[in-house]
Amino acid sequence: MSEQAMFCFYLFLLLICSAGHIWSLHRFCIYHFACGKSLSKRLLFFCAAAVLLPTANALMLSGILPSFYAHLFPLLWQILIVLWMVLLYQGHAAAKVSAAAILLTVTKLLHPFINSLFSCMELLFLHVTRTKLSPLADYAFECLVCCMMYSCSICAILYLSRHMDGFFSSRIPRWYLLISAPLFGVIILWDVLEIGASHGILLRGGDYLNLYYNQIFSHAGICLLSVLCLCAAGSYIFGMDRIDTEQRKKEQYLSQVNFYQMLEEQYHSLERLRHDMKNHMIGLQRLIDNKEWDKATSYLQKMAQAGGMEYPEDMSGKGIVDALLYYKHNQAMRSGIRWECDVRIPPECTVDDFDLCVMFGNILDNALEACGKTEESANRFIRIHAHMVKKCLFLETVNSTNISTISDIKPGIGLQNLQDTINKYNGTLSIDVNENAFRISVLLPFM
């Protein structure tokens, strides 16, 4: 095979691999960020990157490009990826920069790992068999390594697309900068290492070792270093995510504590109002005796509104839960959501009042949010039921939603707090989506 034919074949292979790599980057972006530009602009960038990247790689490997451009190209490519994500997708700029840093770090560490791993295998094979690869076999080996590098990076990016739900939403810009800075430092470090490797053996085992052992030592060192960097980067990224999630859960928990304390105070004020009902009846009787019907009607309405007696079907047997249901019912009414409530909490229920409010509050908050996203307002509804089943409290809520499958559900802080409360009582949680209806069921045993 001539050098021109080998160059064209390698260029064609790089075109396919690069197109797959850029496609995986695009899938990651549209999964976590909305597309902000027209389809034509995205396609233009896609085609340009899919052609320029492999062409530059092929020219660089063939030795046509000078050494200066060969070292400059990776830096330009990294800047291009960052600009691409920031300009062509919607979302906060800091979040998109952190996403670019994560994707570039994965690619930057996987490629040398695969390359060095296969190089070690090649050297060991040649040393054991005492053979030497022909130019064609050596060229085929390079093509195999290229395919493996891009295949691994594509699989890693697609894997991260599905396992980083909520990572790029609802966080402050400073948090994303804390994520991005160390990752860009790792990327720059590997750029420097690659420049050093391009000028000879990067690691030496000593003057007493020959070229073969120095090469093995170098490739093994690069494999180990890339694996350690991958583990460190993964631990840092997901560790920061875990810390931030726990902090947000704690903040939401404290806000719920304040909210439920406010509800409890309101409930006690309602109890005092009911206690003063005798005095209200005297005043109402005076209005009736004087035939002041309008004033009597207005007085009755104010009593019903202040006493929480507008919706007697929400009486659950727990005062604090009644106050919460009344509050959520008013929210549903203002949003035009049909409300059905049948909550009966038995006296023997040992679940703490605060934990009950955490469960009811988070479930109803999710239901109200899902109903708000339903396009047809006439189809918005919430049905909540709670009663005793043997020695367990069964709570079930069904609400309208615009999602069609469970896989479309992105767990939030509210569901995590709900799961923590259920685990506290060794209960079970079941979630189902059927015909644009979201169903969540909770079963708590009495302790």
- In this predicted model, what pLDDT tens digit does every residue of 390-422 receive, in sequence order? 888 899 999 988 877 766 666 666 677 788 888
Q: Provide the 3-class DSSP secondary structure of residue 309.
A: coil
In the predicted structure, residue 86 carries a pLDDT above the cut 80: yes
Number of domains present in the structure of the chain: 2
Whether 286 maps to a domain, the answer reads no
Pair 323, 241 in one domain: no
pLDDT in tens, 46-64: 666 656 666 666 555 555 5
Pair 351, 439 in one domain: yes
Of the two residues 51 and 377, the one the predictor is more confident about is 377
Whether 265 maps to a domain, the answer reads no
Whether 274 maps to a domain, the answer reads no
pLDDT of residue 447: 58
The parent domain of residue 324 ranges over 313-447
Pair 434, 350 in one domain: yes
Give the pLDDT mean for 178-205.
74
- Report the range of poorest mean pLDDT among 139-143, 160-164, 238-242: 139-143
CA distance 72 to 76: 6
Which of 174, 187, 155, 154 lies closest to 240 in space, CA to CA?
A: 174
Pair 148, 69 in one domain: yes
CA distance 353 to 355: 5
- Report the range of poorest mean pLDDT among 63-77, 289-303, 315-329, 373-387: 63-77
Give the containing element (helix H, strand E) for 60: helix 39-62
Pair 11, 117 in one domain: yes
- The C-alpha angle with vertex 83 and arms to 80 and 89, in degrees rounded to 5, equals 130
Whether 288 maps to a domain, the answer reads no
Pair 244, 337 in one domain: no
Choosing from 234, 251, 268, the residue where a domain stops is: 251
Pair 357, 442 in one domain: yes
Pair 194, 328 in one domain: no
In the predicted structure, residue 101 carries a pLDDT above the cut 90: yes
Pair 247, 321 in one domain: no
CA distance 428 to 170: 28
For tokens 């994965």, what's the residue? 106
Q: Is the pTM of this model over 0.85?
A: no
Choosing from 251, 274, 292, the residue where a domain stops is: 251
In the predicted structure, residue 307 carries a pLDDT above the cut 90: no
Pair 341, 232 in one domain: no
Give the containing element (helix H, strand E) for 417: helix 413-424
- Report the range of poorest mean pLDDT among 73-82, 298-307, 310-319, 330-339: 310-319
Backbone angles phi, psi at 397, to 5 degrees: -130, 130
Pair 396, 247 in one domain: no
pLDDT of residue 157: 92
- Report the range of poorest mean pLDDT among 118-132, 298-312, 318-332, 425-439: 298-312
Choosing from 203, 221, 251, the residue where a domain stops is: 251
Pair 224, 373 in one domain: no
Whether 24 maps to a domain, the answer reads yes
Of the two residues 215 and 278, the one the predictor is more confident about is 215
Ramachandran area for residue 362 (φ above 0: left; ψ -120 to 50: alpha; else beta): alpha
Out of 169-173, 271-275, 306-310, 407-411, give the one with best mean pLDDT.
Answer: 169-173
pLDDT of residue 232: 92
pLDDT in tens, 10-49: 777 777 887 788 888 888 888 888 765 555 555 666 666 6
Whether 262 maps to a domain, the answer reads no
In the predicted structure, residue 310 carries a pLDDT above the cut 60: no
pLDDT of residue 311: 46
- The CATH number that applies at residue 439 is 3.30.565.10
pLDDT of residue 173: 84
pLDDT of residue 120: 86
Contact 390, 346 (CB under 8 A): no
Whether 416 maps to a domain, the answer reads yes
Whether 47 maps to a domain, the answer reads yes
Q: Residue 187 corresponds to which tokens in the numbers above? A: 């990327």
pLDDT of residue 283: 76
pLDDT of residue 312: 45
